[in-house]
Structure 1
């Protein structure tokens, strides 16, 4: 009698046969376990080890490091976005409604593959964002959204890079690399100091841009439920649900950070005005 373990093993083998063999020998592609371990270590460091290490230490001044780091991120994401534009979504050869993965080694297909892989690796570099927050004692910025967003993405992106690296599955990398160019330009300018920071009042629009990205990416994925396309439906749903999840989290963050704070400030100002009016009437 076939055991459950044997059935599971056979199913696993069949799924593994569907992998993109072009990345078989590339780092972090043999299994999702290394990415998961890195992400778990990240959470442990930024939530336990880091705060404990900084408990009795002054915040580090990392402005020089941050300038170099943010500039590096800008360059990497510009390159990824450029490659996905030139060989993918703005090349005139990609169909926005249905674009199967090209598993060949022709130049355009391989350049898209390489861009998506570099995009994936950059998500591990992104983890340094939180490490720098810890070292600078910016604990207010280490929110639940921030930790989940950074700590989950390398793991959830792994199936896409491993099985469908290119075609329809590259649309999120196309959008996200552009968003990250804008985001790290903001961070780079912020690292310039107070003389520049006073002009950076557009952070909430950056959050809005991220939410627009999630809406576009999820719609792009879920449309395959209504079109016949040679792209795995389950993978499309996986990517789409991934975007919906983060859209919900970013919406909550936006509401709590910008809308609620704005209302609280308005209520506080109204209370002050009412109080002033009260004393003015008494004076009369």
Structure 2
């Protein structure tokens, strides 16, 4: 997998530096010099493309797992020479580069409330995680993360598309709940894989993965509490007044 385009260490580092630089410099420039850009026409195309792409990767990973007899339990077959999940994982890795476009829209649209630590941390680190997967853990049990993350992102980009046309979306809070459920399932799989010491999966990478997924879970939990429980509390107080 290391010979694939954009899969080398130097390129990955350059992409990370470029992303962080854009967030910092782009924010400074947009705040100081420019009016916000209307990104809705581009997003009108971008979001459906992401829905189709994420859905395809989710389904493709599931089909390949089924064809090769993978189970829900860890330690599925790991092929170093011809990885079953190699192509779809590479596509998934590239999709994380495409996901940086989300930040581009936020900065150009001057939607500063959306440019949170969670947003930047999530986009940057998920790219790094799948780069490590592509280099070190590119087959076997990695299929589960592609299915889970692909499914969640398909729904997420569907939400973005719908929210451009509708203000009140009743299922918005359930999207965050689904994201946290995804992290719980990923943690369960990760713990089981570490415990069984599966072939092909470096333990250090798995432990790093577990720490990372834990961090995402608590960050999303914090976002959920601030976004929904705080609003509910404020509404109750307003009614009392």
Q: Same fold (TM over 0.5)?
A: yes
The equivalences for 1:161-200 within 5 A come to: 161-191=134-164, 193=165, 196-198=166-168, 200=169
User: Aligned pair 1:76/2:46, yes or no?
Assistant: no
Match of 2:179 among 195, 210, 221: 210
**Which string of whole-angstrom CA distances, capped at 9 and with x for unpartnered residues, describes residues 203-234 of structure 1?**
11111111000100111011123325323322
Larger RCO (CA under 8 A, 6+ residues apart): 2
Partner residue, 1:129: 102
Indicate the SS of the match to 2:141.
helix
Structure 2: distance between partners of 1:157 and 1:263: 38
Match of 2:3 among 10, 14, 25: 25
Structure 2: distance between partners of 1:134 and 1:267: 35
Shift of 1:235: 2.5
**Which string of whole-angstrom CA distances, capped at 9 and with x for unpartnered residues, describes residues 133-157 of structure 1?**
1111111111110111012221222
Partner residue, 2:115: 142
**Which string of whole-angstrom CA distances, capped at 9 and with x for unpartnered residues, describes residues 158-207 of structure 1?**
1111111121123212210010110111111222x3xx333x22211111
Structure 1: distance between partners of 2:104 and 2:43: 11
Q: Runs of 4+ in structure 1 displaced over 6 angstroms?
A: none
Mean Cα deviation higher: 42-51 or 256-265 = 42-51
Contact 2:60–2:88 (8 Å) recurs in 1? yes
The two structures have a TM-score, normalised by structure 2, of 0.91
Partner residue, 1:235: 205
The size of the alignment, in residue pairs, is: 239
| Structure 1 residues without counterparts, runs of 5 or longer | 1-22, 273-284
Contact 1:42–1:127 (8 Å) recurs in 2? yes
| Structure 2 residues without counterparts, runs of 5 or longer | none
User: Aligned pair 1:119/2:119, yes or no?
Assistant: no
Structure 1: distance between partners of 2:229 and 2:94: 34
Contact 1:218–1:240 (8 Å) recurs in 2? yes
Contact 2:30–2:36 (8 Å) recurs in 1? no
Contact 1:54–1:134 (8 Å) recurs in 2? no
Structure 2: distance between partners of 1:214 and 1:181: 16
RMSD of aligned alpha carbons: 1.9
